[in-house]
Amino acid sequence: MDHDIELKFQKLKTSLEKDFGPGLDVPSLLFLIGVNELGIGYKNFSKQEKTELMHIAICTLLEPYGYYEFEGRDKDQWPHFKLNQLIPALGHQAEQHLIKEAMIDYFIQNDYFTPDADF
């Protein structure tokens, strides 16, 4: 795994844990991204909705890589994506690297994180 990406990811977690509490991991960050993309704020989500929020996050994160394309929102304002190309089979480590890199980019682009800031 790219050492630079892992360092930035740890900085990202440290930064977000100030607002969301300790113990953030990749699945919890996917959930946060999904909630942010849904844009309706906090509510009690069902287990199915939580799964869908994580799917929204993955689609959002992989959209800049060309894997997904945003299609629009349904009547309940849930975002929908179209699969443009299959994601290549990756080993666990390569998959984690891609997701972490995409998360870093997401939080930077949305002005939630500056990787060079001191914590």
pLDDT in tens, the chain (119 residues): 588 999 999 999 999 999 999 999 999 999 999 999 999 887 899 999 999 999 999 999 999 999 999 999 999 999 999 999 998 888 889 999 999 999 999 999 999 888 876 65
Domains of the chain: which residue ranges? 3-109
Q: Please give the model's pTM, rounded to 2 decimal places.
A: 0.90
Tokens of 6: 């892992």
Nearest alpha-carbon partner for 98 in 54, 43, 39, 58: 58
- pLDDT tens digits for range 48-81: 999 999 999 999 999 999 999 999 999 999 999 9
Structure tokens at 20: 């969301």
pLDDT of residue 118: 60
Residue 41's pLDDT is: 83
